[in-house]
Amino acid sequence: MSSSPSSTPRIKKPLFRFFLLLSFSLLVTIAPLVAGQTRPSYHVTPATKWMNDPQRPFFREGEWHLYYLWNSDWNKSDPGSGGTEWYHVTSSDLVQWTARGVAIRKYQPNPPGGAILGDIETGSSVIDTANSAGFGPNAVVTVLTQMQDGALASGPKAVWDAVRTATNPAGGSTVKLAIYVDQSSVEAFVNDEGVTSLSGLIFPNQGAEEIEVVSGGGKLTLTSFSYATS
C-alpha cells in the first residue's frame, strides 16, 4: 500500500524568491540613509538640527513647495535657544526633494518701525490667483505669526503688518505677509470663487471693523472680510 502524498503545502521556488525579494526591498526602504542615524528614507528631514510644524504645501509651476520650521541655532545644552524660521524645499514627485534654503528669516527688522522682530512661527500660504490681496495675480501670500521680545507681536496700529518680498531661489518672487494674532494657528484657504478665508483666532485691535495692512510701498486696508465662525 503506497503512502499518501504529504498534505503539507510546498512553496514554489519562484514564489519564494518573490517574497524574499519583497522583504529585502522593504528592509532597504525603511533603513536609515546614513549608518547610525535614525532618519527615514522618504520623509523630508533637514541636513542638520531639527524641524517641526510642516506648513501646508502648494503646487506652482510644476513643483510642490513645502515649508517647515527650522532652528539653525539650536544648542543641545540650551534647548530654548535660537528660534525658528521657515525653510523651503521643493519636489516634482513628493519623493525627491531639493533644499532651497531659508525663505523667511527670523530676527529681521519690521519695515514700518524698524523694530527687530523675533522668530517665525507657523502659518499658511496660498496662491492669490484673483489678486484679492493686491500684490498681483498668482502672488504667493503667506500668513504667519512672528514673535517680538518673547510675546506675539501686536500693536494699536494694525493686526496685519510687516509685508516683505523675497526672491524665490527657484525663480519668481514670493510675497510674505506676517499677521499679528493672539495665537499662531492660522490657516489661509482660497475657494473656487477666489474668496480667501482665514481660520484661527484673529482679534482686530480694539474691536476694529477693518484689518489694516502696512507695507513698504504704502498701506492697504482690507475691509471686505467677514467672520464665518466665532
Q: Which residues are catalytic?
A: 53
d(CA 23, CA 222): 57
* 124 close to 136: Cβ distance less than 8 angstroms: no
Name the one residue in this structure whose C-alpha cell is 529681521. 108
Single-letter code of the amino acid located at 228: A
Q: 160 has which bridge partners? A: 179
